[in-house]
């Protein structure tokens, strides 16, 4: 008391003594929400996470993050129908992030620079046979190998790749890219044996601890098309296979393709490249009902492929076909109208879908085939314990990406089964919806870059003559990512707190390096409202 | 746009910083070593715009002056919530005298420093809209007229919030305060000519006048730094939403400041020697209702019936601002 001036009773103090956190009824909490791209990816890629690494030019980090889920980024960047971009929140702001184009860039960088997978862990001593070296089988082999299992892949074909080699034309997927990404899996220690058809998977259980069937759906569905003796009728897979082998199947100038899936369009587009002047796709329903990806339909039409919707082939003769016009009934099914038209046709290619070749499971009565696909349980296991199946063999959307996702899932299931358990799937966080973003903060793309990007994006899925993104555009494209539901290190929370109650944990400015000082946070929620990515939420304080 | 906008980097210069940006291109507020001029533990309400604005301004001024800064504060919320005896939240040289004399005290500090040959030490006077546009206005005008070497900053929350939300000369038309209750059929401040302090400051022909909000810290920091590059009288008018007085959610403080600029009711510009030299264009134009509706002080415009007549007059004010400052003319990045 004596030290204080007259009428002063207290020492000078700082407001730090005033713990304003006691005022709070709600607290901000940093969260990670599920970005819509990740949510939509059939291969379960953490798209937001690898874009985050690519944003500062860390392409190798991006690639390593990406291949945790999918060993084929360069292939994906060419053949994936990128449902991630359809789901991208940026599409509601200006235009979806060109994820597929960046993926291709990262994948190509990996090939160019010779990046290799991390060496697998110590062997588990378990041996797994994978039947089929298509996207599903190779994906499973990769994911099993990185878990330390010894994997042998047996494939009936001349070279590994399955439909990626024999079904997808080279103008969509150059073979050197395919070879490079398969070679990296072989380098991991996976044994791949070609020309080794497996007829009895159950017998293989004597040699292996588990068997994964991924031979795909190889048998072209046949439809009865009344045909004259000299009609030239081919099946789509055979045509694509021949093209892949470097042969030039005799299709003639006027090619009619029957079917409405991606395979039909691949055949029509290949025919165009083989010299057909006017390939025609005949499909019995409407464009809206076509199973083919809209992008592929657009590209086919751009290339000069003609479409004839609501039509069936009633008769195929020498140099001509007769098509019947259809109409949709009230249930949306096509019904004949009795109106016929004759069209010139040098060849008719049937692309009516594929079925599983059931001969592979003929020797195993407990493995059931139902409606053209193998029956599996929730863990992708067939009726025979230890024998799993996935990809096009089981009910699926039948894209390369779905097959890769199946392979990853199968590897997880087989790994768990080998260890005597079932896998515990990671909890899926709530979706990072557009409404949760504060889009004010995102910059608009400068006009100068837009045309270049548009060009590159259009080109990236089409023709190898046109390059993908170069480094600067790939970097720009990656930085268009809104990082939905996940911190990306913008410092906004640190800046907008009226109480300085947000701490910055490091100088490196990595995402997520902030913490709330609950001694002083009053719970106003400005950090939540002003987080661009919606990566903070308010939660009620518990009553004490 | 006067403030140098950063391209690309996802958020460009709209967010405070970004891990991808060079530290020199980030806001002062992004720097963990910022002064934190008004530190943790102050007693401002949840979501106080004034506390935020004062920190933005003084942290930027501390960087611009290398820490050689004296701050003179008028009476008001900012003074009361930061210095309940014996605590202080200030981490800058700070002094307080009376409600109405902050500009004069700041003038005196500047004169004293000049007498000591310490003109390297700069002076900021600051206060709320009450202490600036009403009670301290005579002192402020004198400071301008004498061109004293002071930057005066008004944190405008549009009423006397500290004493219970009484109307000030900066209260906008139709806003309800404790002293603008219904005398006729409806509550709310009368439509008048208002007291447009930045334009009155410009009329003095002083070196620098600018407006800013807490919704754009990079722009605010730029203007403080710019102001510090001049000698003589300068004026900075910062819109700082007040959850208590405006009847808005605490989390909406920054959002409301942003909406005020985007609807045109609060034009953001800077002027030198009496002439406007730059205005921040509107980037995402909204009607005034977007700004008015989240505030309870304007609730009577929406309930029990939609007062399109009153809203129309407010929109006309916004439209006049947009025309006067050309807010929709220039593009943005």
CATH number of the structural domain spanning residue A95: 1.10.1060.10
Domain with A25 in it: what CATH number? 3.30.70.20
Question: How is B70-94 classified by DSSP, letter by letter?
Answer: EEEE-SSHHHHHH--TTEE-B-SEE
* Segments in B116-209 forming alpha helices (H): 129, 137-145, 197-203
Amino acid A466: pLDDT: 42
Amino acid A459: pLDDT: 46
Instruction: Identify whether the C-beta of residue B182 lies closer than 8 Å to the C-beta of residue B265.
Output: no
Last residue of a domain, one of A368, A383, A418: A418
What phi and psi, each to the nearest 5 degrees, are found at residue A210?
Answer: -155, 155
Q: A535: Cβ–Cβ under 8 A, 6 or more apart, which residues?
A: A30, A31, A32, A33, A483, A485, A486, A487
Instruction: Compute the distance between CA of residue A449 and CA of residue A167 in angstroms, rounded to an integer.
Output: 35
Last residue of a domain, one of A353, A379, A394: A353
The CA distance from A408 to the nearest CA of chain B, in Å, is: 32
Amino acid A460: pLDDT: 43
Domain with A249 in it: what CATH number? 3.50.50.60
| Spans of all domains in chain B | 23-325
Q: B19 and A509 in contact by Cβ < 8 A?
A: yes
Give per-residue pLDDT as tens, A278-305: 899 999 999 999 999 888 888 888 888 9
On whether residue A253 sits in a domain, the answer given is: yes
A202, A157: one domain:
yes
A341, A392: one domain:
no
A490 chain-B contacts, CB cut-off 8 A: 10-11, 15-19
On whether residue A175 sits in a domain, the answer given is: yes
A206, A145: one domain:
yes
**Cβ-nearest to A16 among B19, B27, B41:** B41
**Cβ-nearest to A15 among B11, B88, B251:** B88
On whether residue A425 sits in a domain, the answer given is: no
Among A391, A411, A422, A369, CA closest to A145: A411
A400, A495: one domain:
no
Residue A270 structural domain: 226-353
Q: Residue B86's Cα: distance from chain center in Å?
A: 28
A313, A341: one domain:
yes
Amino acid B227: pLDDT: 98
Instruction: Compute the distance between CA of residue B64 and CA of residue A313 in angstroms, rounded to an integer.
Output: 80
A462, A517: one domain:
no
Distances (CA, A) of B327 to A38, A439, A445, A499, B8: 40, 21, 21, 32, 23
What phi and psi, each to the nearest 5 degrees, are found at residue B292?
Answer: -75, -40
Q: pLDDT digit of tens for each residue in chain B (333 aa)?
A: 456 667 667 787 899 988 888 888 889 999 999 999 999 999 999 999 999 999 999 999 999 999 999 999 999 999 999 999 889 999 999 999 999 999 999 999 999 999 999 999 999 999 999 999 999 999 999 999 999 999 999 999 999 999 999 999 999 999 999 998 766 677 888 888 779 999 999 999 999 999 999 999 999 999 999 999 999 999 999 999 999 999 999 999 999 999 999 999 999 999 999 999 999 999 999 999 999 999 999 999 999 999 999 999 999 999 999 999 999 975 544
Select the residue from B12, B15, B80, B283 to test the A interface by mutation, using most A Cβ atoms within 10 A.
B15
A248, A347: one domain:
yes
Give per-residue pLDDT as tens, B118-169: 999 999 999 999 999 999 999 999 999 999 999 999 999 999 999 999 999 9
Select the residue from B1, B4, B9, B19 to test the A interface by mutation, using most A Cβ atoms within 10 A.
B19
DSSP one-letter code for B23? G
**Cβ-nearest to B18 among A14, A490, A523:** A490
A137, A101: one domain:
no
**Domain tally, chain A:** 4
Amino acid A372: pLDDT: 80
Q: Which CATH superfamily is domain B23-325 in?
A: Thiamin diphosphate (ThDP)-binding fold, Pyr/PP domains (3.40.50.970)
A232, A346: one domain:
yes
B255 chain-A contacts, CB cut-off 8 A: 529-530
B332 chain-A contacts, CB cut-off 8 A: 444
- CA nearest A10 in B: which residue? B86
A242, A166: one domain:
no
A336, A273: one domain:
yes
Residues in chain A, pLDDT under 70? 1-2, 446-468, 507-509, 544
A109, A191: one domain:
no
């Amino acid at each position: 008391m004596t030290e204080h001036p007259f009428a002063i009773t207290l020492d000078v103090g700082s407001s730090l003594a005033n713990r304003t956190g006691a005022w709070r009824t709600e607290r901000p909490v940093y969260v990670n929400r599920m970005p819509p791209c990740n949510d939509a990816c059939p291969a379960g890629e953490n798209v937001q996470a690898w874009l985050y690494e690519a944003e500062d030019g860390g392409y190798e980090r991006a690639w390593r993050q990406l291949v945790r889920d999918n060993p084929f980024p360069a292939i994906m960047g060419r053949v994936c129908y990128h449902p991630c971009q359809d789901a991208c929140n940026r599409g509601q702001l200006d235009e979806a992030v060109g994820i597929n184009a960046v993926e291709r860039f990262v994948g190509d960088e990996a090939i160019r620079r010779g990046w290799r997978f991390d060496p697998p862990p110590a062997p588990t001593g378990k041996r797994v046979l994978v039947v089929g070296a298509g996207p599903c089988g190779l994906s499973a082999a990769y994911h099993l190998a990185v878990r330390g299992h010894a994997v042998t892949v047996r494939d009936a074909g001349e070279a590994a790749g399955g439909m990626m080699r024999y079904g997808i034309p080279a103008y969509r997927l150059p073979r050197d890219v395919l070879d490079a990404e398969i070679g990296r899996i072989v380098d991991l220690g996976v044994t791949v044996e070609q020309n080794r058809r497996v007829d009895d998977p159950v017998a293989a259980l004597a040699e292996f601890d588990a068997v994964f069937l991924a031979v795909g759906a190889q048998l072209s569905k046949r439809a009865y098309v009344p045909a004259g003796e000299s009609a030239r009728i081919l099946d789509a897979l055979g045509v694509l296979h021949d093209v892949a082998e470097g042969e030039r199947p005799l299709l003639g100038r006027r090619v009619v393709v029957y079917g409405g899936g991606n395979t039909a369009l691949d055949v029509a587009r290949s025919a165009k490249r083989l010299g057909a002047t006017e390939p025609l796709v005949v499909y019995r329903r409407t464009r809206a009902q076509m199973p083919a990806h809209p992008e592929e339909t657009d590209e086919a039409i751009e290339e000069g492929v003609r479409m004839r919707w609501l039509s069936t082939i009633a008769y195929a003769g020498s140099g001509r076909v007769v098509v019947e016009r259809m109409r949709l009934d009230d249930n949306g099914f096509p019904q004949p109208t009795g109106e016929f038209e004759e069209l010139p046709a040098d060849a008719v290619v049937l692309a009516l879908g594929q079925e599983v070749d059931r001969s592979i499971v003929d020797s195993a009565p407990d493995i059931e085939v139902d409606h053209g696909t193998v029956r599996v349980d929730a863990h992708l296991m067939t009726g025979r314990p230890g024998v799993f199946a996935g990809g096009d063999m089981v009910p699926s959307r039948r894209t390369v990406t779905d097959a890769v996702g199946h392979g990853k899932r199968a590897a997880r299931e087989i790994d768990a089964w080998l260890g005597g358990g079932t896998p515990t799937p990671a909890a899926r966080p709530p979706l990072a919806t557009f409404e949760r973003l504060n889009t004010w903060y995102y910059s608009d793309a400068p006009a100068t870059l837009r045309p270049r990007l548009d060009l590159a994006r259009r080109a990236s899925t089409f023709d190898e003559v046109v390059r993908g993104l170069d480094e600067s555009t790939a970097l720009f494209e990656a930085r268009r990512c809104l990082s939905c539901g996940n911190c990306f290190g913008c410092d906004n929370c640190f800046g907008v707190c009226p109480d300085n109650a947000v701490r910055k944990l490091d100088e490196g400015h990595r995402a997520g390096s902030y913490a709330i000082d609950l001694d002083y946070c009053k719970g106003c929620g400005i950090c939540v409202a002003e987080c661009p990515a919606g990566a903070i939420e308010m939660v009620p304080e518990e009553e004490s | 746009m006067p403030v140098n906008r950063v391209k690309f980097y996802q958020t460009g210069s709209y967010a405070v910083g970004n891990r991808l940006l060079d530290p020199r291109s980030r806001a002062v507020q992004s720097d963990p070593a910022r002064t934190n001029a008004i530190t943790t533990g102050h007693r401002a309400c949840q979501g106080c715009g004034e506390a935020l604005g004062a920190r933005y301004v003084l942290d930027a001024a501390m960087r611009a002056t290398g820490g050689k800064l004296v701050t003179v504060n008028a009476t008001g919320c900012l003074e009361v919530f930061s210095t309940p005896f014996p605590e202080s939240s200030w981490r800058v040289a700070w002094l307080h005298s009376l409600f109405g004399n902050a500009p004069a005290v700041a003038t005196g500090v500047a004169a004293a420093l000049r007498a000591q040959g310490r003109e390297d030490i700069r002076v900021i006077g600051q206060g709320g809209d009450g202490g600036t546009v009403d009670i301290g206005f005579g002192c402020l005008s004198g400071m301008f007229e004498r061109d004293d070497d002071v930057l005066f900053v008004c944190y405008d929350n549009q009423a006397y919030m500290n004493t219970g939300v009484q109307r000030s000369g900066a209260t906008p038309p139709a806003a309800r305060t404790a002293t603008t209750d219904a005398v006729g059929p409806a509550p709310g401040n009368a439509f008048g000519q208002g007291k447009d302090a930045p334009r009155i400051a410009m009329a003095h022909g002083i070196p620098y006048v600018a407006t800013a909000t807490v919704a754009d810290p990079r722009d605010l920091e730029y203007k403080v730094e710019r102001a510090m590059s001049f000698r003589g009288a300068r004026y900075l008018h910062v819109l700082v939403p007040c959850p208590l007085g405006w009847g808005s959610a605490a989390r909406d403080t920054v959002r409301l400041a942003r909406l005020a600029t985007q609807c045109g009711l609060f034009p953001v510009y800077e002027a030198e020697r009496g002439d406007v030299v730059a205005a921040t264009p509107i980037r995402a134009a909204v009607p005034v209702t977007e700004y008015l509706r989240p505030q309870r002080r304007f609730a009577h415009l929406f309930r029990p019936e939609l007062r399109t007549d009153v809203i129309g007059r407010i929109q006309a004010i916004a439209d006049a601002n947009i025309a006067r400052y050309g807010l929709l003319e220039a593009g943005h990045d």
